[in-house]
Chain A
Amino acid sequence: MTTSFILNGRNVSVNLPKDTPLLWVLRDELHLKGTKFGCGIGECGTCTIHIGGKAARACITLISEVEGAHITTIEGAEAQEEPMRSLQAAWDEVQVPQCGYCQSGQIMQAVLLLKDNPNPTDEEIDSVMCGNLCRCMAYRRIRKAIHLAAEKLNALKTEKRPEKTSPKQQETTSQGEK
């Protein structure tokens, strides 16, 4: 069965049995190794990716379910800039990863948390992130990094100029200046 979808902004087509989990398509067919295998039953979160901008566990998503979908993996998430950029910067500053194996999944989950909730409390972080197991138990730093990323994002917002011109207006202005 042929399935076509948009992966990290690019059109992709694969020809595989319809019950093939997306995780193996990403890793073995398309050679994107950043998304990991941990449990195969959607309980550890290491395979977290975005489908249509929402978190999904690739190990329990079948290829038949993603026809025409927009899929983003850790490899493509950087291109989305914020909140990913601040999140990765915070992750680095706090030195979150230990073995690092769960970290793609943690980051993919955390970036959506911040999109939905720019100022999460500890409880809110826990309730969104509790599906992501970290066997090295780097949880304290995961929480700290999410808070730090939220701070960074808030700082960015206050740095932006208050005036809001539409993109079209801005275009006209710059052309006018020429």
Chain B
Amino acid sequence: MEKDFKKETQKQEKQSFSLSRRHFLMTGLGSCLGFGFLSKAGAEIILPQKRGQDFEEIQEAGNVFEPNLWCRIDEEGFVYIHLVKAELGQHIGSAIARLIAEEMEADWNKIRLVYLDTETRFKGYYCTKDAHSVWESWDIYRQAGAAVKYMMRERAAAIFSTIPEKCLVENGNVSYEGQNLSFGDIVKHGHITRQISPEEMANLPLKDPTAYRFIGMKLQALDIEAKITGRAPYSIDAHFDDMLYARPCLPPTRYGAKVVSVDDTEAREIDGYEGYFILEDPSETIIGWVVVLAHNWFAAVKAADILRIRWTDPVETAVEEKDLQEHAEELLKDSKIGSDIYHDKDVEMLLKTGDNFLDQTYYCDPVAHFALEPLNVLIRKIGDVWEIHSGNHWQSLALGKLAKLLGVSEDKIIMKNYFVGGSFGRKLSSDYLIPAALTSQLLGGRAVKLLFTRSDDMIFDTLRSPSLQRIQASFNGDDKSINAMRYDVVAGWPTLAEAPSYLRKGVKGEYDPASVSGADHWYEVGPFHLRAVCNGLVQRSLRPGWFYGGASGWTLWALESFMDEAADLLHSDPISFRFNLLTGEGRNGGVEPDSVGGARRQAAVLKRLGEVIDWGSINYKLPKDEGIGVACGGGESRDMPTWCALAAHVHVERQKGVVRCKKIWVVIDAGIIIDPDGAEAQIEGAVLWGLSMALFEGAEIKDGLIKARNLNHYTPLRISDVPEIHIEFMENAHKPTGLNGVAVGVVAPAIGNAIFNAVKVRLRKLPMNSEELLKAFDQIQKNKA
């Protein structure tokens, strides 16, 4: 009897093991973890969501086969694709799903997207940033799909009593001589015992792109339905009946002010007010904070407004705009400081040679993220596990910080996945999670919902740092080539503030790519000295943030304005001038597979742009006070460049100095375009962001904080400001790169160049505004007189 029982148990274990065996198929990573499971109700976002159906209702049918980390299949043949990326508006889940579904030969109607809460088995993977997601996922998800196809075909062949080579896998089915098994049928049969090692998986043959059914095709994004019916779950919507609402009482400056006293006598009159905490943060991310607690949000808002708090006087950090500029100018002059990304020989000497020399300085004001969903965190402790509901999308970074703060191991923290109501880089930082964790910890793990009003959100923003850039170059008059270039970038370093281990090694010192990307351009300029200097005053008084488009939001402003100024100096056409410098020699030749072609691809988009706008003749056809300017770049980083060329057509109204952008043309080379419609949407958004930051947004700093606190003073672009936009993608078979970064950065310089072409005024400060234009017109008049 005992023997039989044991045999039976072993048989069952083997069966369940083979059905739910999860073989760790991550190329280049470690060992297998975990056991089979069914979807935990409410634990994940699963799409597509049908009308009237809540996310919790979607459950797998029957047994589940999990061939690798990246998907699972149930008995009805539904393929659940595991996603560790956050939906920020880029429909990334649907894009990645195409990769695995393609190679698997899945039925698209049976695809389900599963956005995973943080789990230990995906440690380190939860990071959605820098337009990297498709590029990161390109190989692994396709390989995972190929592995599943291999397993399905092999198992089906066994069931058909034939060999895999005689079976055809198509549209979620395996067929052989008129017989058919769906993926669901195969899962139902069970006993899928094939194991595929990471090496085998990496070597599986992949589809010929000419046979693609999903990649590059028009498919509806699966997150859109929920967003049209008001059902999309954002973390601001998370709710527990027993939760307390918390609102911050923000100190007079980001750093440097300590709480002296709190008087809540008046606040106690408010119905629903519960009390306050003075927060002490061992990580010193949050300094001088008080949080107000209440049973409803409106009470928390009112109580925080009338709480009487005294802080120490933060003299040093109560900076003005001009303090930050002046400090930058001081740092610029000190050649001993800073880090070098490039420092070729003889730059200083060569700058003194040649026929022409240009030396210009460019400024950029800070910009606010202003994500429409303001910062919010809901945190609670269930048993010994902390549960966090926020739109943070560098969860892997956050987990480390929170674990330390809460005194637990990372596997005792789960960050729940939500759609994010805009981030633009803000919700990569873990800073806003810390006060929520501290507050809940003080309450013994009680559910706390920390919400920011719009004004709080703007004050606590990690602003795009103000920057100062200086470019110097010497030129040869005959062939318009550049002898040498020196480029200095002085700005705050977001990575230093948030994740210092991610700083990069330069040829001298460490630098922050998020502060200088784009300045490491692809032009042939001879010996090149590129220096990055951290503006310590920005670092000490603000908290500079990662921003949409990365540093290219300010580096391309300087670089592409400079290129036009140089072309003008040399009496050269702006497009031919640039084209001839994109030789692709030396370090600008590009690297397989991510920057194949290097500068030649930037040259190609520039050339195509010229054709599209009919550059040769269009300038002669323009009315007075109108101009077209161009800019181009490869970015947002040299490691994974997307090539972009953009032209802007502007009209300048002289009386009031108002600039109106009438049309934008943009040519993009991002390699294989996975989702053509989604790609177009991304570029539309990026270009309009660039336009908004060029003309409509600039955050003035006063007393160490942003002066504007809401839309009455901060004015991002509205529907009535939208110009005509023409978007074109280059077609090729290069590895897909990211979509939006560089398209953000090229807009402002194109507009600056267009303004120059229209009215011969050169603006060197962002945002461009009428005051500067009118001053310049005045100066021109004075010079004439």
Contacts and interface: CB of A to CB of B under 8 A. Distances in A.
A143 B688 CA distance: 15
Interface string B236-254: 1101000000000000000
A36 B236 contact: yes
Given A136-B89, A137-B689, A44 B372 contact: yes
Contacts of B718: 130, 133, 139
A132 B717 CA distance: 11
B61 to A, nearest CB: 27
A56 interface: no
A39 B232 contact: no
Main secondary structure of the interface of A (DSSP, over half): loop
A92 B230 contact: no
A99 B420 CA distance: 6
A177 interface: no
Nearest to A78: B229
Contacts of B712: 41, 43
Given A24-B297, A100-B223, A139-B722, A88 B716 contact: no
A98 B297 contact: no
Q: Secondary structure of the B side of the interface?
A: loop
Could you say which of A28, A73, A136, A143 has the most chain B C-beta atoms within 10 Å of its C-beta? A136
B239 A28 contact: yes
B43 interface: no
A129 B688 CA distance: 17
Interface in B339-383: 370-374
B751 to A, nearest CB: 16
Contacts of A24: 296-298
Interface in A2-28: 17, 20-21, 24, 27-28
B220 A137 contact: no
Nearest to B296: A28
Contacts of A126: 719-720
Contacts of B232: 100
Interface residues of A, number: 54
B285 interface: no
Q: Size band of the B side of the interface? A: 35 or more
Q: Which of A31, A46, A140, A143 has the most CB of B within 10 A?
A: A140
B764 to A, nearest CB: 26
A14 B8 CA distance: 61
Interface in B175-200: none
B422 A92 contact: no
B692 A91 contact: no
Given A39-B711, A74-B230, A133-B372, A138 B220 contact: no
A101 B421 contact: yes
A40 B454 contact: yes
Interface string B536-554: 0000000000000000000
Contact of A36 (B87, B223, B373): B373
6 contacts: A28-B297, A46-B372, A100-B228, A102-B372, A138-B684, A139-B688
- Which 9 A-B residue pairs are closest in the complex by CB-CB distance? A34-B230, A100-B227, A101-B421, A98-B89, A99-B89, A137-B688, A74-B230, A43-B711, A97-B227
